[in-house]
Structure 1
């Protein structure tokens, strides 16, 4: 069973729209926003240290999706890509091989 991990950079409403769409797809077993364990803080030695977060582009939302097979996982990727384009948000997939 493919497990896809999706990182959405956008507003809470954008992430909720993507999650709602995924939950409506036939065959999707599980969709859940998971806690992001990586702190998103600047390193003191970073070239971006001290810069304003006003231009950051939005919050980061981690979403986990379980699909029954690779065909459905491909449908998830295509659907998310289309909606992310329409919403003008960034969506990145990081897949685990199960």
Structure 2
């Protein structure tokens, strides 16, 4: 069973909309926002520290999705890409854990 990891850079509402879409897809039984263990902050001595673009960016959310097969996983990716485009948020998939 493929497990997909999705990172959404956007608001809580945008992430909730993506998760609702995922739960509505046939075959998807598990969609969960998981804790992100990686800090997403710049070093204090970074050349980009404190820039306004970094402070005004969206929140980062990690979502885990279990799909029953590769075909459904492909549909998940396509559906998320389309909705992320409509919502104007960044959605990126990590590597499948089961591959």
**TM-score between the two structures when normalised by the length of structure 2:** 0.91
Q: CA deviation at 1:29?
A: 2.3
Q: Does 1:76 align with 2:76?
A: yes
**Runs of 5+ unmatched residues, structure 2:** none
Show CA shifts across 1:46-92 (max 9, x none): 11123234432x10010000000000000000000000000000000
How far apart in 1 are the matches of 2:38 and 2:44? 16
Alignment of 1:1-98 (within 5 A): 1-52=1-52, 53-56=54-57, 58-98=58-98
Misfit runs of 4+, over 6 Å: none
**TM-score between the two structures when normalised by the length of structure 1:** 0.92
**Runs of 5+ unmatched residues, structure 1:** none
